[in-house]
Structure 1
Amino acid sequence: MTIIFYRTRLCPRCYMARKHLLDLTHDRPDLIVEDREILRDPIAAGRDGITMIPAIRIGDTVLSGIYLHRHRIEDFLRQTGCL
């Protein structure tokens, strides 16, 4: 299953959310985390329904927020069947 992580390299919140996401999926080779740098193509991110970063998208379900705590990411992964 592919998990899309929307971010920008300039965002410290994105850095921490990505670290939590990679830590949670480290032991799951069936989960692929794909990074999308929104500054490269902001129009595509908008089409994907991304209005705030950091954001995690699994299928049609999106989690985003000012600060994505590890527990919030973990809950999201469980709700979408990834964990």
Structure 2
Amino acid sequence: MKITLYHSRWCPRCRQASGFLEQIGQSRGDLEIERVDVLHHPLQAWKTGIRMIPALTCGGETLSGLTLSREAILAFLAKHASSLATEPK
């Protein structure tokens, strides 16, 4: 499963969310994380609808907030893992 993390290397909340993703990714072999630094790619973030970081996108949906807890990230991934499993191939 591929997700995109919109972040800034200067944002402590983004570093925390990134750490959670790294931990989760180590236990899941199917997680591919694309990282987009909004300071280097602001237009890409804006066109995607990202207005707050940290933010995760997957399957056309976005999870963002002042903080992204490990539990919120796990729930977001679980939701998209189950929807990907039921999509016709």
Q: Specify if TM > 0.5.
A: yes
Structure with bigger gyration radius = 2
Q: Would you identify which runs of 4 or more consecutive aligned residues in structure 1 move more than 6 Å? A: none
Structure 1 unaligned regions, length at least 5: none
* Distance in 2 of aligned mates of 1:41 and 1:60: 19
> Which amino acid counterpart does residue 6 of structure 1 have in structure 2?
Y
Q: Which residue of 2 aligns with 1:22?
A: 22
Question: TM-score of the superposition, structure 2-length normalised?
Answer: 0.85
> Which amino acid counterpart does residue 31 of structure 2 have in structure 1?
L
Q: Percent identity?
A: 39
Question: TM-score of the superposition, structure 1-length normalised?
Answer: 0.91
* Number of positions where the alignment pairs a residue of Structure 1 with one of Structure 2: 82
Structure 2 unaligned regions, length at least 5: 83-89
Structure richer in helix, relative to its length: 2
> Which amino acid counterpart does residue 60 of structure 2 have in structure 1?
D
